[in-house]
């Protein structure tokens, strides 16, 4: 699976992160995340999978606060941020 489209990336983050560069992924997803995307990315990061690439992707998309939380290993704080705080800037309109 090549993960060329936005939908393919969102449906298979593991393949996308394994085969594509961060700048390609961020531009394809229009530098915006759905809640489910961030939950999946956090789960990968918590397991130690694609950590640096996820951090780079979040940074490339302008989600610096989330990137810093993951980088510091604060996965629960990251989930609290995306689930309970005002988070409209990171969702596509």
Please give the Cα distance from 36 to 42 (Å, whole number): 10
Query: Tell me, what's the pLDDT at 93?
Result: 43
Question: Confidence class of residue 3 from pLDDT cuts 50, 70 and 90?
Answer: confident
Residue 49 placed within a domain:
yes
Q: Is residue 54 part of a domain?
A: yes
Is a pLDDT exceeding 80 seen at residue 47?
A: yes
d(CA 23, CA 39): 20
CA 28, CA 4: separation in Å to the nearest integer?
Answer: 8
Report the pLDDT averaged over residues 55-71. 96
Q: Could you give the angle at the alpha carbon of 25 between the alpha carbons of 85 and 56, nearest 5°?
A: 60
Quote the number of domains for the chain. Answer: 1
Confidence of residue 36 (pLDDT cuts 50, 70, 90): very high
Q: Please give the average per-residue pLDDT across 82-92, as a whole number.
A: 64
| The overall pTM is greater than 0.85 | yes
**Please, are residues 39 and 12 in contact by the beta-carbon 8 Å criterion?**
no
In a domain, 25, yes or no: yes
Q: Which domain holds residue 18?
A: 6-87
Distance between first and last Cα of the chain: 28
């Amino acid at each position: 699976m090549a993960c060329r489209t936005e939908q393919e990336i969102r449906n298979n983050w593991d393949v996308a992160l394994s085969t594509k560069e961060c700048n390609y992924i961020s531009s394809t997803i229009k530098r915006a995340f759905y809640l489910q995307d961030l939950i999946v990315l956090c789960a990968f990061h918590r397991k130690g999978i694609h950590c640096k690439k996820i951090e780079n992707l979040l940074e490339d998309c302008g989600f610096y606060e989330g990137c810093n939380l993951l980088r510091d290993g604060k996965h629960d704080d990251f989930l609290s941020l995306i689930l309970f705080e005002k988070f409209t800037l990171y969702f596509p309109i």
